[in-house]
Amino acid sequence: MKTFKLKSLEILEQEGEEIKKHSIELKDGLIINREDERNQWTIEAYVDHSYLSLFNRMKEIRDEIMIQVKITKESNDYATFITSIVSINEIGSDMNVLFLGTIIDRQKSKIEEMLVKLVEQGYEGKNLIKKFKELT
């Protein structure tokens, strides 16, 4: 396993025909390449408690959540993951969120182009994620 510093986190959420980005202000975070047979990563975001309702809503309505992260330093490009929320833990006035997912090995612009095309073709929700996985 390899562990890296999580520097930035964005949640990508479909709202109608738009993809909305939720930029999450991190207090701290780690990302771990588990180097397992399924190529899974664990992402831990330590954030302010004010994000609790957002993450609880995402966990309730989405089996899979697309996120973008910057690893190690802010100047790095975003890496995109398809994840699920494993747990949400309240820690005093803060909280942490644990994601488990797989990295999408493509440039950000190609991913955005593909998502826009799929949305234009009428895919949304779970069908959008399923079709996206088929194409990647």
- Over residues 69-94, the pLDDT tens digits come to 999 998 998 898 999 999 999 999 99
Which pTM value belongs to this model?
0.76
* All residues at 6 or more sequence positions from 121 whose CB lies less than 8 Å from its CB, including other chains: none
3-state SS class at 116: helix
The residues near 30 (Cβ < 8 Å, ≥ 6 apart) are 3, 4, 5, 6, 42, 43, 44
Q: What is the pLDDT of residue 136?
A: 63
Supply 58's token pair.
Answer: 């995402």
State the CATH class of domain 2-106. Answer: mainly beta
Range in 44-48, 52-56, 59-63, 131-135 with the lowest mean pLDDT = 131-135
> Across the chain, what does the average pLDDT equal?
89
